[in-house]
Structure formats: structure tokens, C-alpha cells
């Protein structure tokens, strides 16, 4: 079962690049602040690169004005996430997080089997609005869709 509003984000360790590979646990990442975590099936893939990440890049300042941190996550390694962020001109403060082995994605119950496309297990496309480690809203896409996890939809539906 996937994570629902009102539930605490599970504990896991994610990675990112900043002067080498760094690790951050989800308690440090989410407790004490407001965050939108959105996830994509894969860096550099068409919808992720043409629509999903660009929407959060475009609206990053609006999230900041509302006091909300933004983080992008995929089951790619941290080097791929860093390169993808650079290619997409991700602004400072929008974190590019790696869940390379998928532990966090599985703990959220938001993994999918993309083996038919040669991609193995990946994250579903989703966005979670998290306050102080508790999911307030979960926007999980149906397979093959991109609607409810967009930056525009998340902004329009924040409490």
C-alpha cells in the first residue's frame, strides 16, 4: 500500500552531489519544514525532462515564497541526478536526490515495474506535500499519466 496523507514519511537515506557524494536521511530532510518531494521514473526521460522537472524549475520561486522547499527524486544514481539538474538549469535550492537502490521508494509503496521498457523497477510519478515529516497531500499519477504531480497542480491544491 502506498503512503497516504496523515502518515509519517519513512526513514531512509538518499544521496546527492555537493563536493562529492553526500547522504541525507529523510528525518533531516523533512522534519521541521515544508517540502514538496516529487519523483520521476527516470532522469533524462521524455516527460520527466520536457514537462515534470521544468515545471518545478519554472515555479521554484513561488514555492519559496510560500516557504516550501522542493526536491526532485529518481531511482538514478546521484551523478546522473546532478548531470540532469545541470542540463535542466535547476536553481539553487531545488534538491536533486538519488534513491539509487529504491529503498525509500519501496518504503513509500510507490515503486513500479518498468521491466517491459528495459528500465527495471522505478518510482511511480508522484508529488508529496510534507510538513514536519508528515504527508499532508499525496499526488500519485496513474500509469502513463502526467497531471496531478505537476508543479502547477500541486501549487493550485496546497492547503
Q: Which residues are catalytic?
A: 48
Transcribe the chain into DSSP letters: ----TTPBPPP-EEEEESSSEEEEEHHHHHTTSEEEEEE-S-TT-HHIIIIIHHHHHHTHHHHHHTTEEEEEEESS-HHHHHHHHHHTTPPTTEEEEE-TT-HHHHHHT-EEE-GGGT--EEEPPEEEEEETTEEEEEEEPPTT--STTSHHHHHHT--
Amino acid at each position: 500500500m502506498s503512503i497516504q496523507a496523515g502518515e509519517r514519511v519513512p526513514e531512509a537515506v538518499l544521496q546527492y552531489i555537493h563536493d562529492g557524494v553526500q547522504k541525507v536521511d529523510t528525518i533531516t530532510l523533512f522534519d521541521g519544514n515544508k517540502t514538496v518531494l516529487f519523483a520521476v521514473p527516470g532522469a533524462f526521460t521524455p516527460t520527466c525532462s520536457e514537462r515534470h522537472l521544468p515545471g518545478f524549475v519554472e515555479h521554484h520561486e513561488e514555492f519559496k515564497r510560500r516557504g516550501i522547499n522542493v526536491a526532485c527524486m529518481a531511482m538514478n544514481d546521484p551523478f546522473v541526478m546532478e548531470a540532469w539538474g545541470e542540463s535542466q538549469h535547476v536553481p539553487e535550492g531545488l534538491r536533486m536526490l538519488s534513491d539509487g537502490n529504491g529503498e525509500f521508494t519501496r518504503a513509500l509503496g510507490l515503486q513500479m515495474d518498468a521491466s517491459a521498457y528495459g528500465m527495471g523497477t522505478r518510482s511511480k510519478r508522484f508529488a508529496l506535500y510534507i510538513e514536519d515529516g508528515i504527508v499532508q497531500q499525496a499526488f500519485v499519477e496513474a500509469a502513463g499519466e502526467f497531471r496531478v504531480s505537476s508543479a502547477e497542480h500541486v501549487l493550485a491544491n496546497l492547503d
